[in-house]
Amino acid sequence: MTPPSRQALVPFVSVDHMMRLVHHVGIERMMVELVDQIEADFRRWPDFDKTPRVASHSDIGVIELMPTSDGQQYGFKYVNGHPSNTRRGLQTVTAFGVLADVATGYPVMISEMTILTALRTAATSAMAAKWLAPRDARVMAMIGNGAQAEFQALAMKAVCGIEEVRLFDIDPAATRKCAANLAGRGLTVLSCTTAEEAILGAQIVTTCTADKQYATILTDNMVGGGVHINAVGGDCPGKTELAPAILHRAGIFVEYPPQTRIEGEIQQLDPDHPVTELWQVIAGQVAGRTDAAQVTLFDSVGFAIEDFSALRHIHQRLQGTPFFRDLDMIADPDDPRDLFGMLCRSQTADVA
C-alpha cells in the first residue's frame, strides 16, 4: 500500500509525549510561557469567535466541547468533569483537543489535554493573580488538594513569586500527596487541618474542590480585606464554592460573561450583577485591583481561548522535538475527487 503523504499525517501528542515535553521545557518555565501566550491572546480578545461551551450534563457529571477561532487557526477541547470519578480510581477531569488550519480546515495537531488543562488552568489562575492580587503576595492557601493542586501552586510560585503554600483538603490523604509532590520545589509547604487555618496570612486563596453541589468552601467571615481569591472548582450549573456574601463585596473578574453567568460562582447572583472581563484589565482598558483593601475574585470556569492558546503553544514547542507521532488521519487521494478510487485501489493492493 502507498504510504500516506505528508499532508495526510497529523502530529499526535500522547500523555507520555506531553509529560516528556513538560520535563524538557521545565514545568515552571512552561507555566511562564503559557501565561505569556494566554495574555497575548487575551489582549486580542475581539479577534476570536466566542461562544459558551456546549455542555451535556448528567446527574453525576458533564461532558463539554469548547471551540474557538482567531480566523487563522481553529481549536476545540473535549473535556469532562465527574467529581465522583476519583472513588472509582478515575480522573475527575480528562481532556483532548485539536488545533486546525482555518484556510484548509485540516487539523494540524491532536493532543492529550488532561495534563495540558491542568497546566493552562494553573497558568490562567496565576495570570489573574498577577493582575489582581496584592503586589507583595507571598503566601497562598490551596483548598482542594486533588489533581490540579500542585500545578496551581507551582504556577503561583513561577509567575507571582509565591513562597509559602498552605494546604487543606477534607481528605487528609490528598493533602499528604500534594505536600509530598511539592517537597523540594522551593516552596514552604504547610499542611492544615481546616480551611480557616489554611487561609491564615494568605494573600491569595485558591479554591479547587470537586463536588457537584452549591458548596461553601469559604464563608464570608473567613475572607479578610486585601485578599485575592481564585475560585477554580465552581464551573458548572449547581456547582459552586463560595458563600454569596463574599461575591457581594468582591470585585469580580471573569473570562467570558455569557459562560460564567451559567457556570461560575456568579450563577448565585442576579444576571445583571456587575463583573469585569479579565481581558479588559490585561488590555489596559479597565482597572484591576482598585485599592489595597479590596477583595478581588477571579471566578474561573475555563474558557476556550485558554485552550486555544495552550494548543498553539504546544504546537510551537513541538517543532524540532521527538515528542509526538504522526497519525494517518486525513484521506488524501492523488485526485481529490477520487476518494472512492483510493478505497478500491487499497483493496487491490491488500489482495496482491
Which residues have a catalytic role annotated?
235
> Which of 143, 160, 254, 304 contacts ligand NAD by CB under 6 A?
143
Best CA proximity match to 260, nearest among 280, 286, 282, 234: 234
H-type alpha helices, the chain: 15-25, 27-43, 114-132, 149-160, 172-182, 195-199, 244-249, 257-263, 278-282, 304-318, 339-351
Measured over the CA atoms of residue 233, residue 21, residue 106 and residue 305, the dihedral's sign is: positive
> Which of 52, 67, 134, 302 contacts ligand NAD by CB under 6 A?
302
Binding residues for ligand NAD restricted to 254-293, rule: CB under 6 A: none
Report if residue 144 touches ligand NAD, rule: CB under 6 A: yes
**Cα angle at 160 between 231 and 15, to 5 degrees?**
70
Q: How far is the CB of 116 from ligand NAD (least distance, A)?
A: 11
Of 10 and 195, CB closest to ligand NAD? 195
Report if residue 252 touches ligand NAD, rule: CB under 6 A: no
Of 170 and 342, CB closest to ligand NAD? 170
Q: How far is the CB of 124 from ligand NAD (least distance, A)?
A: 7
> Which of 211, 244, 268, 327 contacts ligand NAD by CB under 6 A?
211
H-type alpha helices, 26-76: 27-43
Helix 15-25 and helix 27-43: axis angle, to 10°?
A: 100
Count CB neighbours of 249 within 10 A: 12
Interaction pattern, residues 167-206, with ligand NAD; x per rule: CB under 6 A: --xxx--x--------------------------------
Interaction pattern, residues 218-237, with ligand NAD; x per rule: CB under 6 A: --------------xx-x--
Phi, psi of 90 (to 5 degrees): -115, 160
Stretch that binds ligand NAD, among 32-40, 53-61, 86-94, 315-323 (CB under 6 A): 86-94
- Report which DSSP code applies to 40: H
Print burial letters for 215-230: b (CB count within 10 Å at least 16), e (below 16). bebbeeebbeebbbbb
Stretch that binds ligand NAD, among 69-77, 80-88, 133-141, 220-228 (CB under 6 A): 80-88
Q: Note whether 332 and 4 are within 8 A (CB).
A: yes
Q: How many CA atoms lie within 13 A of 290 on its CB side?
A: 8
Q: How far apart are alpha carbons 199 and 222 in whole angstroms? A: 8
Q: How far apart are alpha carbons 276 and 287 in whole angstroms? A: 9
Interaction pattern, residues 22-51, with ligand NAD; x per rule: CB under 6 A: ------------------------------
Of 134 and 302, CB closest to ligand NAD? 302
**Amino acid letter for position 106:** Y
> Which of 68, 148, 206, 260 contacts ligand NAD by CB under 6 A?
148
Helix 114-132 and helix 304-318: axis angle, to 10°?
A: 110
Q: Note whether 213 and 238 are within 8 A (CB).
A: yes
Of 83 and 107, CB closest to ligand NAD? 83
Of 117 and 203, CB closest to ligand NAD? 117
Judged on CB neighbours under 10 Å (0-12, 13-18, 19+), 327 is middle
Q: Which residue in the shown chain puts its C-beta closest to ligand NAD? A: 146
Stretch that binds ligand NAD, among 1-9, 142-150, 288-296, 316-324 (CB under 6 A): 142-150
Say how many residues touch ligand NAD, by CB under 6 A: 29
Q: How far apart are alpha carbons 62 and 258 in whole angstroms? A: 18
Of 10 and 222, CB closest to ligand NAD? 222
Of 33 and 235, CB closest to ligand NAD? 235
Helix 149-160 and helix 27-43: axis angle, to 10°?
A: 70
> Which of 37, 73, 209, 294 contacts ligand NAD by CB under 6 A?
209
Residues in contact with ligand NAD by CB under 6 A are 81, 83, 86, 92-93, 117, 121, 143-148, 169-171, 174, 208-211, 215, 217, 232-233, 235, 300-302
